[in-house]
Structure 1
Amino acid sequence: MLDDFMARAALAGVGVALAAAPIGCFVVWRRMAYFGDATAHAAILGVALSLGIGISVFGGVLAVALAIALAILSLARRGHAMDTALGVLAHAALAFGLVAVALLPGVQIDIQAYLFGDILAVSRSDLALIWAGAVAVSAGVLWRWPGLLTATLNPELAIAAGIDPHRERQVLTLALAVVVAVAIKVVGALLITALLIIPAAAARPFARTPEVMAAMAALTGVISALAGLGTAWILDTPAGPTIVCVAALIFAASSALSRAATTRG
């Protein structure tokens, strides 16, 4: 089955959707959309680093995404305005990454594939990394779920319960960096945040508990990935953007159904 590129693409999309869903819920709850965007934009600088020093793209992207995320947290704790820090680091990392890729001697890469993803070119080794990352993120979130949830909903209550909100934010930051590293091959640096946020936002109106929202977000992400791949195959459109388009249509339908239910109620 793995000899078929569409089968590999489908498995890759499902793996990324499962990894992104729980982290996306926390991004929505904490209103960290721009934080996720800044971390994703840093992925291009990670690609340049990995090609320049001869390490795996996954390792380079993970290191730079984590470094940028921790730098943003550090600036915020020192009193810098969060939106300013996010704007500076996000665009600077993307710009430096694009310039660094252009200056790499003797290296020719398809930068579009890293900006918008190239899920149809996923290899067996890429697939193994994606699923290893998805399992690691899912296991980590399940392990830290009570602490992460309490620190997200009520930091003061978390402190009273002996939970360090800063430590939980660092755990979330590490998980987000892993998701960025495994998702860059599928949807690209410019669309990773969309796959984090849109499924969670679509699930939110119909979820009664945080756990149900995470599960519904995962289902929405999986449906978006598979339906997006099928649509891209039929219409001959770019797969990564098409996956995000399908997710956006699901969000629009979810919002319309939610408003209709509210009106009837």
Structure 2
Amino acid sequence: MTALRTPTVVTDREALARVRDRADRPVAVVMTMGALHDGHAALLRQARARAATVIATVFVNPLQFGPNEDFDRYPRTLEGDLEICAREEVDVVFAPTPAVMYPDGQPNTRVNPGPLGEILEGASRPGFFHGVLTVVLKLINLTRPDVVFFGEKDYQQVALVRQMVRDLDLDIEVVGVPTVREPDGLALSSRNRYLSDSERTTALALAAALRAGAAAPGGAAAVEEAARSVLEQADGLELDYGVVTAPDLGPAPASGPARLLLAAKVGTTRLIDNGPVTL
């Protein structure tokens, strides 16, 4: 059996700068909040296939949690995360504390995502994408990647990172990786571990709603109605939104490729999912 590669683990800026200066290019970065699962492994695998050096970041970012959200109970599983990183042949893991990322406390300067950051997740979680883009930009500056990989389960996040890269002239490539699912269709998420067995069964309604929407004939309204009808029949599920947009999250086209995005609360756990549809 081939021995697993042991990643170099760094926790401060100076150590990261030293290993990054020695890194062979191209450098790929996968940014995570830890609690890694097979969805993250898929990102790391694609990064490994593309780059000479793979850096994974593990940081639970306080800026993107609202006052009533789950920052304190968000799972922190660094030992298990490192095992997955070793299995996927990651070279460097950057695992800073909030004090390392924000040495002067929460920053006064933050990235404003613009109108695209105020819809969907941004409407439900005010300020969320300001926190996401701020930490992504900081991590880009610290790790200096040639290419970054993000999962399409967080579809709006991928769109906003691409927008930021374009708008701020960042010389990096952004790659979106398709959502990884359980055999029964449930999208992999670190928050799935919060679900009880019965809640997990209820959560399958999101994947069923995506299938119903994709199969619905007609325009955006028909797709939304088909998806919502599935979700509204699921006991214990509270629908936040079920919306069809253009692939770039603009207004839904009259016909052609589009995206169906869903968010719902199952018990106390908020879940999101999305998938392509053709109108």
TM over 0.5: no
Higher relative contact order (CA 8 A, sep 6+): 1
Q: TM bucket by the smaller chain?
A: under 0.3
Which structure is higher in helix share?
1
Which structure is higher in strand share?
2
- TM-score norm. by structure 2 comes to 0.23
